[in-house]
Structure formats: C-alpha cells, structure tokens
C-alpha cells in the first residue's frame, strides 16, 4: 500500500479505493515511524516559520515588525524557506500585480513546526480554515489546558497526512473523510489518556455546548463507534479491577 522510494513515500491503494480502517491504520503506522526530515534553519527562519504557522494573512510589513529586521533580510529568509517547501508566497489579489505578498506555511512547514520546532499544535489548528478542525476545537475548549493537550497531541502528524493527500490530488470529499478519521482516531487516544488523569472531569468535556459540537463533527454511526470504544475500555477496567489482588 505504501512503499518507500528514496527519501519520499508514495501512497498507493488509497486514492482509487475506499479508505477502509486497515488502510488508515497502516498509513498511520508507517508515517508515525518516520520522523520529519530535519532541515537546518537559521534563528530568523525559525522565527518566521513559527509566526506564519500561527497567524493568518502575514505580509512582509508584519514580518519586518515581528522580527525587527529589514525587508531585504526578511525576504532572503522567506525565499530560503520557500526553497525548503516550508512556506509559500502568494499575491493577496492574483489579478493585481502590485498587491501585497502573503506568506503562508505549507503543510510540510506546519508539520516541521510541530515536530521539530515544537510549536503548540493548538495554536496552528486555530488558524486552519477547516470546519471539522473548528468543530473539534469547539468540542474540547472547556477543559483545562493540560487536559486539552492530551486530546490534541495525537494529531501531531495531521499535516503530514494532509500533505500526502495534496501530492496525490485527493478530491475534497476524500480529504474530508481522512480528516475526520484522523480526528476520530486522535480522540480515541486522547480520551484514553484523559481517563488516566485523576483531575479529569467528564462534565467539563461533555457539556451541553460541547456535545453539540461533537454532533456537528461526527455522524451517528461514528458517535456510536466512539461510544463502543469507551464501553470497551470501561469493561476492560472493570474486569482487570475484579481480578487484581487486594
């Protein structure tokens, strides 16, 4: 399904076929076992990449103010990041030649920022223009920061998944399907971690407002699957507790 060619992976059998659970799990295992390629960046390049990952519509005026560097120096650093495929430059109005240039982090740039530069993934997700990600953040926003991190941390390879979708020109429907699968798998892992936290309060996570956000994110069948996963964990805990010597 996935084979390695040199320094890149090619994803096969997912584009043309249905993205079944086995395919998704296999993709996750292969990508998770491979760390992101490390690129040597200067301090200025790191600062620029971190900033554009967590801010929308960043132009050169904003970057020169943020970095306290002149336009030429900033432009050279941005061009280097473009060569590394970590950022892109686009005109704010493609039809107008003199419109300002917007610097955006690419999918690989976001993945690099999370896994190498240790940028807070939640800060990057907050500026993503994606309904499913927005619904996910709405669902978890009422719980404390440390507990919220446990639900977000399993998504650290999200942008690498989306990169492979992009290079294979996935249709929008299939992209949405994969994003939901990633969020669902991450939620399973995150809930498992939360239940081990002595300070975890289910009422904070599952309140009236957050439940509505969860229903927007997942359909009835997906919610049933998540519920069954939690029931399975509960049954295992009860069975283990009953056998554990006192």
Q: How far apart are CA 44 and CA 46, in angstroms?
A: 5
Q: Is 224 exposed, middle or buried (0-12, 13-18, 19+ CB in 10 A)?
A: exposed
Beta-strand relationship, 8-11 and 2-5: antiparallel
How confident is the model at residue 39, as a pLDDT? 74
> What's the pLDDT at 2?
35
Evaluated on CA atoms 108, 114, 119, 123, the torsion sign reads positive
pLDDT for residue 210 = 95
Residue 150, number of CB atoms within 10 A of its CB: 20
What distance lies between CA 103 and its chain's CA centroid? 19
Is the separation of the CB atoms in 193 and 156 below 8 Å? no
DSSP output for 111-165:
HHHHHTS---HHHHHTT---HHHHHHHHHHTTS-HHHHHHHHGGGTTHHHHHHHH
Residue 16 neighbours by CB under 8 Å, 6+ apart: none
pLDDT at 23: 47
Give the number of other CB atoms < 10 A from CB of residue 136: 27
Whether the CB-CB separation of 1 and 10 falls below 8 Å is answered with: no
Which alpha helices (DSSP H) does 33-130 contain, by range?
Answer: 43-53, 60-67, 71-83, 107-115, 121-125
The model's pTM is 0.79
Side-chain half-sphere exposure of 179, counting CA atoms within 13 A: 23
- pLDDT score of 96: 75
pLDDT confidence of residue 92:
77
What is the pLDDT, as a whole number, of residue 170?
61
Helix (H, G, I), strand (E, B) or coil at 105: strand
Q: How many CB atoms lie within 10 A of CB 135?
A: 18
pLDDT digits (tens), the chain, 246 positions: 333 333 333 333 333 333 444 444 544 554 444 444 557 899 999 999 999 999 999 999 999 999 999 999 999 999 999 999 899 998 877 777 778 999 999 998 999 999 889 999 999 999 999 999 999 999 999 999 999 999 999 998 888 888 877 766 666 567 788 888 889 999 999 999 999 888 999 999 999 999 999 999 999 999 999 999 999 999 999 999 999 998
Instruction: Count CB atoms within 10 A of the CB of residue 133.
Output: 20
Question: Could you tell me the sign of the dihedral formed by the alpha carbons of 131, 136, 141, 142, in that order?
Answer: positive
Q: Where do the structural domains in the chain lie, given as residue ranges?
A: 43-111, 128-240
Give the CATH fold of the 43-111 domain. Arc Repressor Mutant, subunit A (1.10.10)
**Angstrom distance (rounded) from CA 224 to CA 234:** 15
């Amino acid at each position: 399904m996935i084979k390695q060619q040199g320094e890149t992976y090619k994803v096969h059998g997912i584009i043309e076929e249905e993205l079944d659970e086995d395919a998704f799990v296999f993709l996750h295992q292969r990508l998770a076992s491979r760390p992101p390629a490390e690129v040597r960046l200067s301090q200025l390049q790191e600062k620029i990449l971190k900033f554009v990952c967590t801010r929308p519509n960043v132009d050169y005026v904003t970057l020169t103010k943020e970095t306290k560097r002149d336009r030429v120096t900033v432009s050279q650093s941005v061009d280097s990041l473009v060569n590394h495929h970590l950022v892109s430059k686009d005109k704010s109005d493609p039809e107008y030649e003199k419109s300002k240039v917007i610097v955006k982090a690419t999918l690989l740039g976001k993945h690099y920022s999370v896994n190498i530069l240790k940028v807070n993934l939640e800060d990057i997700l907050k500026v993503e223009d994606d309904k499913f990600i927005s619904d996910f953040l709405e669902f978890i926003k009422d719980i404390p920061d440390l507990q919220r991190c446990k639900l977000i941390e399993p998504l650290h390879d999200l942008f690498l998944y989306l990169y492979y979708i992009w290079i294979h020109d996935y249709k929008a429907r299939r992209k949405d399907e994969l994003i939901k699968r990633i969020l669902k798998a991450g939620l399973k892992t995150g809930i498992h971690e939360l239940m081990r936290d002595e300070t975890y309060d289910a009422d904070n996570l599952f309140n009236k407002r957050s439940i509505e956000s969860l229903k927007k994110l997942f359909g009835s069948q997906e919610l049933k699957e998540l519920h069954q996963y939690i029931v399975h964990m509960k049954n295992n805990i009860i069975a283990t507790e009953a056998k554990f010597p006192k």
